[in-house]
Structure 1
Amino acid sequence: MTTYDKFPTVTVQGYDDSAWQNWESIARTLHARIQQQTRTILVIDCYPGVRLAELEDNLLPRLRPTLAINVEQARQDECAVHDMLARNLTDDRVFGVLSCHQLGEFFDPARLDALQTQVNQCSEGLIVIYGPGAALVHPGDVLVYADLPRWEIQQRMRSGETGNWGAENQHEDMLRRYKRAFFVEWRVFDRHKTPLLRRADFILDTTQAHQPAMVTGEALRAGLTQTATQPFRVVPFFDPGVWGGQWMKQQFDLDPSAPNYAWCFDCVPEENSLLLRFGAVRIEIPSQDLVLLEPRALLGEKVHARFGAEFPIRFDFLDTIGGQNLSFQVHPVTEYIQQQFGMHYTQDESYYILEAEPDAVVYLGTRTGTDPQAMMDDLRRAGRGEKTFDDARFVNQIPAKKHDHFLIPAGTVHCSGAGTMVLEISATPYIFTFKLWDWGRLGLDGLPRPVHLEHGEKVIDWQRDTQWVHQHLVNQFEPIAQGNHWREERTGLHEREFIETRRHWFSEPVVHHTGGGVNVLNLVEGESAIVDSPTGAFAPFTVHYAETFIIPASVGEYRISPAACASGQSLATIKAWVRS
């Protein structure tokens, strides 16, 4: 039976009576707050993707407002929005340019003024303004923010339930809809919601259809403050892929009827959920909300100064055991991602091998003597279907075994071969993959998977040949320190990458320190371990094999020990942090 926890939850102390479930309880709580005044303006601002029809059918009738206004009637029409975003959306199927827009630009000023006039002319009773951007009409006497994680938004997009905000494009290519959300919507709405979360009276969890939950803003903010002072995990999510394998399905007790699982985002706070328990009520929010509201305590002063309210380290899984090769790919170098896409840092990464079949390989760097023009010509011919790419001629195939670590600075051609379970440790920008060759496959949607030779050939570092790769990128293990029953090894990353990684082997407690920056770890060997505070600053925290966990910068000193069930075993963690 798996010990991997798919629904890790933070129990918030001191706010057991501050959260409610179901529409009836939520309406009753809001009524109690509203009845204190003869004229009350209730603003329910929303993240895009919130089901407004569910609010209209279940909450508004229970509130019985004198006036109800859906702010979306003041939104710019679809053509005007599209014209405004054309530079950001581009013609590319996958890549756009990061938006710097403010939410107010998506609304017609005259229509907003008309809604504000309506509100001012209503002199008594309850006035409800709701929808994405509702706080642009009025700050609210009572403010509710309705939120949901990006992963749930993607599920609604995939099902065809919803398109992008302000666009009737439910049937458009999913990659284009995701691109618009990633480069525009989520950036705009994170800017808009951050100050609202800081002052909201209530947060409404709309993740599960017809299963709403609400918590006071005070309790939520206290819960985030608590989370930023203790170890925690975000909620992992799993996704199939054309190359996906079977290891995670068995190891993590996933749906056996699924064809495969390719990815697990085990620590990508921009996408993952965070579960907070207030008494009997569990609230699911985007884990990005923690980054937005508690960046200094979570990230540390130096990391926050460098990256802003953005979590810069990503841990995820790539499963090809019983599957196929990943796409052969390369990531953009820093100047290219800045100039072409508006990102301020790039997708450096590494592959830590959790498990591997006997003949597993990692494709990494070009073979010594490779002629760049010959390889690009071969890739173009393969892309046209004239031949298969001659990978054995051009690319190093390096045997991969359990606990190997391959470093992949941007500009290095690479992919994991079939038969590996990869813990990918990388910088957070996670969609900037230039596929060079996809082994002639179609995607799960039946369409050819996008290949980006025109981008890729501009960023490949051709000096990363066989000798250089083995000298700089393969198993760069360096002993750092050791004691009784423990040892620490540096495993990378490459000097061009901002992430430092260390592996600790231990059968007795090991003391760590955040060093003033956020630490991200995974238990890569052993059944389970206990993370505690030598000073009792937080409750002991249990982690299991393959679970990724976050230690906020504010924690300082912490200790990792084998759990009782793992006594006598040799355990190992891999730890990542941002280099000073």
Structure 2
Amino acid sequence: MSYYEKYPTLQIEGYDDSAWQGWEAITARLRARTGQRTVLVIDCYPGVRLAELEENLLSALNPALVINAEQARLDESALHQLLARNLTDDRVFGVLSCHQLSEFIDPQKLVTLKEQVSNAPDGLIVIYGPGAALVHPGDVLVYADLPRWEIQQRMRSGELDNWGAENQSEDMLRRYKRAFFVEWRVFDRHKTPLLKRADFLLDTTLADSPAMVTGDALRAGLKQTTQQPFRVVPFFDPGVWGGQWMKQKFDLDPSAPNYAWCFDCVPEENSLLLRFGAVRIEIPSQDLVLLEPRALLGEKVHARFGAEFPIRFDFLDTIGGQNLSFQVHPLTEYIQQQFGMHYTQDESYYILEAEPGAMVYLGTKTGTEPQAMLDNLRSAGRGEQPFDDARFVNQIPAKKHDHFLIPAGTVHCSGAGTMVLEISATPYIFTFKLWDWGRLGMDGLPRPVHLDHGEKVIDWQRDTQWVHQHLVNQVEPIAEGEGWREERTGLHEREFIETRRHWFSAPVVHHTHGGVNVLNLVEGDRAIVDSPSGAFAPFTVRYAETFIIPADVGEYRISPSGETSGKPLATIKAWVRG
């Protein structure tokens, strides 16, 4: 039986009557807020189904005037010209946008829409769509939101274009790139001040099943979330190399071919579930980062990273699957200069489970000639021969609870037969594939290889001796007490994340020390997280679940559950070094 909770939900106290489910209830609540002349603004994240709003909400409100704010958007060719530098010709990588949403709007068309509002007769005036608040601030402001993972599902199904483009037939990698590098950046900037003053948030995640909560209740719920442990909603995705372990352990769809990834703590793309009375609201967990960065991250982390969650926990399942792509991540200066990111994708592999004979590919073998390896990779890429990995790359046996550190510039991949908890910095798409074992993607297309990028960032000094000395199982005892011991397991000094493993059969007291903590229960069925001072309700975590302790929590305690068998449990904890 699987105990892994796939839909963790936080119950928000004190706002039971502040949320509504279904179009009828939502319409009635908004109608109650209208007067003789009311401008209702429904601003939207790109991906919200505007047709559903029109059919179920706007028609029921019977407004005197309706304006779709997208009428003022630049046309597709003008947008493409504006964004050409950011979109690039590459399938995967673009340059991060620093645009404001107003740059995507035709100034004269915006003036025309504003004049329509000014000249409208008394009654209800509704302005809706992405950018609606640019037309009018709203006497009543609703923000319609949905998580990025749901946006991706709508893109994959062919339902959704990129914003301002008719490109459903375009390669999914290119559409995701446009969303990642441009749309989501621009609209996060736009929605942050709106969420701080919105009268209502409209959850449009599920088709024909909307939910709405007052802005005051939402903001109180986010504040409450920063005072206790919580989990974001994990999501799972198949891949060409994916395995079967998660399918069995997490009770996933048995008809799926495999599951390669689980994004268990990637707040940019995960959801956060908040329950207000009987109504469950699903929002992007990024909304918490945008509105409560200091309480969540801590002063020092916020000062360094801004409103970005810098730690990522995810799973890579190759048990019953195949090797990951052989890859390298960019050095800091390279990611800054080429893509506009201000920090890079340092990472590590913590081995949750491993089959006999499993291995991790890490660093080059001592004596490797860089040009010889690059020539061999290019030859492999042309299909002339397989890459001679045994000649050039260290293949290191992997077993349960091993920890492999992977600072940027280190060639690496997990081999078949491993269940990896990947602990890393958050820029999670910056993987330069060097070789993909001659495979096609699940879409039947060749998977993109970026050897031209990769060759510029490989650190050739990370050879056999260096890797074993610095990157493999760097376990250092730190402290111990009755029923527990603490070990440092990394990460490398070039990485900003610190990790500690605690083995325990008795309660262990932790402290955030003013910075966000991210943990996973890597051994044992379940544990209880509570507050020694009673500041929050006890929180149950189960095997392999990732959970977040906001900086503002301060002291917390992790104890074995009464249902455990008496064997030691273990957590792995990560935080940003000071």
Question: TM-score, normalised on structure 1?
Answer: 0.99
Alpha-carbon separation, structure 2, partners of 1:26 and 1:305: 39
* Partner SS state of residue 10, structure 1: strand
Alpha-carbon separation, structure 1, partners of 2:154 and 2:498: 37
The alpha-carbon deviation at position 123 of structure 1 amounts to 3.0
- What does 1:405-554 correspond to in 2, within 5 Å? 405-554=403-552
Given residue 6 of structure 1, which amino acid in structure 2 is its aligned partner?
Answer: K
The answer for the alignment partner of 2:17 in structure 1 is 17
Alpha-carbon separation, structure 1, partners of 2:542 and 2:368: 44
Instruction: Render the CA deviation track for 1:282-330: whole Å, top value 9, x for unaligned.
Output: 0000000000000000000000000000000000000000000000000
The answer for the alignment partner of 2:136 in structure 1 is 138
The answer for the alignment partner of 1:356 in structure 2 is 354
- What does 1:169-568 correspond to in 2, within 5 Å? 169-566=167-564, 568=566
The alpha-carbon deviation at position 567 of structure 1 amounts to 5.1
CA contact (8 A) 1:510 1:560 kept: yes
Given residue 28 of structure 2, which amino acid in structure 1 is its aligned partner?
Answer: R
Instruction: Render the CA deviation track for 1:4-60: whole Å, top value 9, x for unaligned.
Output: 0000000000000100000000000001111xx210000000000000000001001
In structure 1, runs of 5+ residues without a counterpart are none
Alpha-carbon separation, structure 1, partners of 2:393 and 2:495: 22
Alpha-carbon separation, structure 1, partners of 2:208 and 2:104: 29
Alpha-carbon separation, structure 2, partners of 1:447 and 1:558: 48
* Partner SS state of residue 33, structure 2: helix
CA contact (8 A) 1:323 1:419 kept: yes
CA contact (8 A) 2:298 2:552 kept: yes
In structure 2, runs of 5+ residues without a counterpart are none
CA contact (8 A) 2:326 2:412 kept: yes
* Partner SS state of residue 408, structure 2: coil
CA contact (8 A) 2:475 2:490 kept: yes
CA contact (8 A) 2:64 2:121 kept: no
The alpha-carbon deviation at position 61 of structure 1 amounts to 1.0
Alpha-carbon separation, structure 1, partners of 2:392 and 2:513: 42
Given residue 159 of structure 2, which amino acid in structure 1 is its aligned partner?
Answer: E
Given residue 69 of structure 2, which amino acid in structure 1 is its aligned partner?
Answer: V
* Partner SS state of residue 48, structure 2: coil
* Partner SS state of residue 566, structure 1: coil
Alpha-carbon separation, structure 2, partners of 1:484 and 1:76: 66
Alpha-carbon separation, structure 1, partners of 2:135 and 2:93: 33
* Partner SS state of residue 59, structure 1: helix
Alpha-carbon separation, structure 1, partners of 2:497 and 2:366: 28
Given residue 203 of structure 2, which amino acid in structure 1 is its aligned partner?
Answer: D
Alpha-carbon separation, structure 2, partners of 1:182 and 1:353: 29
The alpha-carbon deviation at position 230 of structure 1 amounts to 0.4
Structure 1 residue ranges, 4+ long, deviating more than 6 angstroms after superposition: none
* Partner SS state of residue 253, structure 2: coil
CA contact (8 A) 2:324 2:416 kept: yes
Alpha-carbon separation, structure 2, partners of 1:535 and 1:192: 39
Q: Quick check: 1:4 aligned with 2:4?
A: yes
Given residue 444 of structure 1, which amino acid in structure 2 is its aligned partner?
Answer: M
Task: Choose the corresponding residue for 1:55, options 53, 56, 62.
Answer: 53
The alpha-carbon deviation at position 566 of structure 1 amounts to 1.0
Alpha-carbon separation, structure 2, partners of 1:569 and 1:408: 31
CA contact (8 A) 1:351 1:407 kept: yes
Instruction: Render the CA deviation track for 1:492-543: whole Å, top value 9, x for unaligned.
Output: 0000000000000000000000010000000000000000000000000000
* Partner SS state of residue 564, structure 1: coil
* Partner SS state of residue 563, structure 2: helix
Alpha-carbon separation, structure 1, partners of 2:394 and 2:535: 48
* Partner SS state of residue 203, structure 1: strand
CA contact (8 A) 1:316 1:425 kept: yes
Q: Quick check: 1:28 aligned with 2:25?
A: no
Alpha-carbon separation, structure 2, partners of 1:154 and 1:283: 19
Alpha-carbon separation, structure 2, partners of 1:409 and 1:202: 43
Given residue 45 of structure 1, which amino acid in structure 2 is its aligned partner?
Answer: D
Alpha-carbon separation, structure 1, partners of 2:160 and 2:288: 26
Given residue 551 of structure 1, which amino acid in structure 2 is its aligned partner?
Answer: I
CA contact (8 A) 2:498 2:577 kept: yes
CA contact (8 A) 1:507 1:567 kept: no
The alpha-carbon deviation at position 163 of structure 1 amounts to 1.0
Given residue 29 of structure 1, which amino acid in structure 2 is its aligned partner?
Answer: R
Given residue 20 of structure 1, which amino acid in structure 2 is its aligned partner?
Answer: W
Given residue 510 of structure 2, which amino acid in structure 1 is its aligned partner?
Answer: H
Alpha-carbon separation, structure 1, partners of 2:72 and 2:371: 54
* Partner SS state of residue 364, structure 1: strand
Given residue 248 of structure 1, which amino acid in structure 2 is its aligned partner?
Answer: M
Alpha-carbon separation, structure 2, partners of 1:39 and 1:107: 27
* Partner SS state of residue 52, structure 2: helix
CA contact (8 A) 2:238 2:258 kept: yes
Question: TM-score, normalised on structure 2?
Answer: 1.00
* Partner SS state of residue 42, structure 1: strand
Alpha-carbon separation, structure 2, partners of 1:79 and 1:564: 63
Instruction: Render the CA deviation track for 1:411-437: whole Å, top value 9, x for unaligned.
Output: 000000000000000000000000000
Given residue 537 of structure 1, which amino acid in structure 2 is its aligned partner?
Answer: A
CA contact (8 A) 2:231 2:547 kept: yes
Alpha-carbon separation, structure 2, partners of 1:106 and 1:92: 23
Instruction: Render the CA deviation track for 1:60-102: whole Å, top value 9, x for unaligned.
Output: 1110000000010110000000000000000000000000000
Task: Choose the corresponding residue for 1:92, options 90, 93, 108.
Answer: 90
Matched-pair identity in %: 85
Given residue 25 of structure 1, which amino acid in structure 2 is its aligned partner?
Answer: A
